[in-house]
Chains A and B, each alone.
Chain A
Amino acid sequence: MLLEQNHITKEGEFVINMGPQHPATHGVLHLKVWLDGETIKKVEPHLGYIHRSIEKMCERLSYRQFIFTTSRMDYLSAHINNQACALVVEKALQLEVPPRAKAIRIIMAELTRLASHQLWWACMGLDLGAVTPFFYAFREREAINEIWEETCGARLTQNYIVPGGVMMDTHPNFRKRVKDVMKQIKDKAHEYEELLTGNVIFQERLKGVGYLSREDAISYGCTGPTARASGINSDIRKLFPYDGYEQIKFDEVLNSGGDCWARYLVRIEEMKQSVSIIEQLIDIIPEGDFQVKTKNVIKLPKGDFYQRVETARGELGVYIVSDGAASPYRCKFRSPNLSNLSAIPKIAEGAKIGDLVAIMATVDLVIPDIDR
């Protein structure tokens, strides 16, 4: 059966390998592409190049320790991954997190979303042949990284959100620095518009390319901006609020276009929403404890627990089965990127090989999250 599929029948048909070291796949994703001339007949993702067995590792680590491994899954949403793990432990222990910790968590999560989308915007330009936007986006991202460096002590794999709250209180400069960065992002927003959004060549590369219908997005289990660009209400922050998102005013960004351009616009608009969420909270961070006291050895009660959060790429679910011991019996992550990747063969069918790069860029995959 497999041989029959691989068989090339006509003249002009061939198979190429995109990746695992292709710059447009942002990591070690390997796409096997069947082509008829320049038209894509079929795409088959091959995985496993960066498998680190994180789920199995978690079974040997305690409930405090297993959080740091999740920073290394979707490294661009490290805070949000940590938050998901902390939330599932708190759910099992029925811990009430102090309001200060909740506010800090939301600010950190939205900063993560901003930084992640900025990196996506930078790489998107790079993939489609524009080198300059990369440096401008990284300027803002660097400013956000500095906030984390000052408060959390690390720039990428922070391990800052722990069961019961956050690891340390915010740095005295935190508020000022966040405000400066928000101002900087708002001031520089017109550059983003000028460089890519208003660029006619860029628009032509995206408009009408890589169409994903609403039905397909649902059946492939797409979440996050990819699904919202096909018109699906999939924002977990709205549907299943956690950590006090229910008290914050923000819009779920929707677009019914379904093509690469729609996915681009959704992410750009989400950045503005994130800025608005941070600005709502930064002046009213409640005083008080940043962490509730937990036992030295955390043991979850018997049972299974599930918690979902909205990362920069979609819905991350953490499922823990506990047998009452100090480490999980089974730990399963539902990663947004794997589902989004599964839609790529459908999106890319019939597109041109050059468009595959645009499709990959707008779906915004992080490969270590797919393989774990």
Chain B
Amino acid sequence: MKLTGYYFTHLKEIVTEEYPENRSTLKMMDRFRGEVLIQHDEKNEHRCTGCQACEIACPNGTIKIITKQEIQADGKKKKRLEAFVYHLDMCTLCNLCIVSCPSDAIVMGQNFEHSVYDKKQLKKILNNPGSKLMEGVEE
């Protein structure tokens, strides 16, 4: 009773967390693993070469890389990323894909509120429409 009385009169020593009331001020840790994302710069360019290292590293088959052959300016055909399909519903956020990526294209996002009404909404294509590979990544 003494202890309960102490905390009853010392309200500043908060024992519990205030989620979801603190949602507007809540800041997750910078390494927090919430979801996989592809980083795009302001020119809508990403660093993913479509090498499929993450697809191989993933233990659950969460990632599916779809590539296409693209004709370059010099007339040569090269493999390019068409769609980075990510199944969030199967992902265990183990970070193995991020570690395996040779070109640092993918990162972990901080969003953790993934509840949706339909499972289909958890299947995402991570590369923006019309985005292309950043120059100098492939070398």
Name A's B-contacting residues (CB within 8 A). Answer: 61-62, 64-66, 68-69, 132, 135-136, 138-139, 142, 146, 149-154, 157, 159, 167-168, 171, 191, 194-195
**Chain A to chain B contacts (Cβ below 8 Å), 14 pairs:** A61-B59, A64-B57, A65-B59, A132-B3, A135-B15, A139-B15, A142-B17, A146-B29, A150-B29, A152-B31, A159-B96, A167-B95, A168-B31, A194-B3
Task: Tell me, in angstroms, the Cα distance from A153 to B15 when the chains sit together.
Answer: 23
Size category, B interface: 20 to 34
Task: Tell me, in angstroms, the Cα distance from A64 to B16 when the chains sit together.
Answer: 37
Q: Is the CB of A159 within 8 A of B94?
A: yes
Q: Is B103 an interface residue (CB 8 A)?
A: no
Residues of A within 8 A of B108 (CB): 153
Q: Is the CB of B32 within 8 A of A149?
A: yes
**Residue ID in chain B nearest A72 by CB atoms:** B92
The minimal Cβ–Cβ distance linking A175 to chain B, given in whole angstroms, is 16
Q: Is B99 an interface residue (CB 8 A)?
A: yes
Q: Is B114 an interface residue (CB 8 A)?
A: no
Task: Tell me, in angstroms, the Cα distance from A154 to B112 when the chains sit together.
Answer: 11
Q: Is the CB of B4 within 8 A of A68?
A: no
Which listed residue, B2, B17, B28, B57, touches A65 by the CB 8 Å rule? B57
Which listed residue, B3, B28, B31, B96, touches A68 by the CB 8 Å rule? B96
**Residue ID in chain A nearest B14 by CB atoms:** A139
A157-B57 CB under 8 A given contacts A132-B4, A142-B17, A151-B31 = no
Q: Is the CB of B57 within 8 A of A159?
A: no
Q: Is the CB of B2 within 8 A of A194?
A: yes
The interface residues of chain B, by DSSP majority, are classed as loop
A68-B2 CB under 8 A given contacts A135-B16, A139-B15, A171-B31 = no
Residues of A within 8 A of B17 (CB): 142
Within 8 A of A (CB), among B97-122: 99, 108
Q: Is the CB of B33 within 8 A of A153?
A: yes
The interface residues of chain A, by DSSP majority, are classed as helix
Residues of B within 8 A of A195 (CB): 3
A136-B15 CB under 8 A given contacts A64-B96, A153-B108, A195-B3 = yes
A68-B94 CB under 8 A given contacts A135-B16, A139-B15 = yes
Q: Is the CB of B3 within 8 A of A154?
A: no
Residues of A within 8 A of B15 (CB): 135-136, 138-139
Task: Tell me, in angstroms, the Cα distance from A136 to B29 when the chains sit together.
Answer: 23
Task: Tell me, in angstroms, the Cα distance from A149 to B32 when the chains sit together.
Answer: 6
Q: Is the CB of A153 within 8 A of B32?
A: yes
**Residue ID in chain B nearest A133 by CB atoms:** B3
Task: Tell me, in angstroms, the Cα distance from A144 to B1 when the chains sit together.
Answer: 27
Task: Tell me, in angstroms, the Cα distance from A62 to B100 when the chains sit together.
Answer: 14
Task: Tell me, in angstroms, the Cα distance from A167 to B96 when the chains sit together.
Answer: 9
Residues of A within 8 A of B133 (CB): none
Add 8 more A-B contacts to A139-B15, A151-B31 (CB < 8 A). A65-B59, A65-B96, A135-B15, A153-B31, A153-B32, A154-B33, A168-B31, A171-B31
Q: Is the CB of B96 within 8 A of A153?
A: no
Q: Is B93 an interface residue (CB 8 A)?
A: yes
Residues of B within 8 A of A150 (CB): 29, 31
Q: Is the CB of A167 within 8 A of B59?
A: no
Give per-residue flags for B54-98: 1 if the beta carbon is below 8 A from chain A beta carbons, else 0: 000101000000000000000000000000000000001111100
Residues of B within 8 A of A62 (CB): 59
The CB with the most chain A CB atoms within 10 A, among B2, B31, B33, B94, is that of B94
**Residue ID in chain B nearest A194 by CB atoms:** B3
A154-B59 CB under 8 A given contacts A136-B15, A191-B3, A195-B3 = no
The CB with the most chain A CB atoms within 10 A, among B16, B57, B59, B108, is that of B59
Give per-residue flags for B1-42: 1 if the beta carbon is below 8 A from chain A beta carbons, else 0: 011100000000001110000000000110111000000000
Task: Tell me, in angstroms, the Cα distance from A66 to B59 when the chains sit together.
Answer: 8
Task: Tell me, in angstroms, the Cα distance from A152 to B95 when the chains sit together.
Answer: 10
The minimal Cβ–Cβ distance linking B35 to chain A, given in whole angstroms, is 12
Task: Tell me, in angstroms, the Cα distance from A194 to B17 when the chains sit together.
Answer: 24
Task: Tell me, in angstroms, the Cα distance from A167 to B15 when the chains sit together.
Answer: 32
The minimal Cβ–Cβ distance linking B55 to chain A, given in whole angstroms, is 13
**Residue ID in chain B nearest A67 by CB atoms:** B94
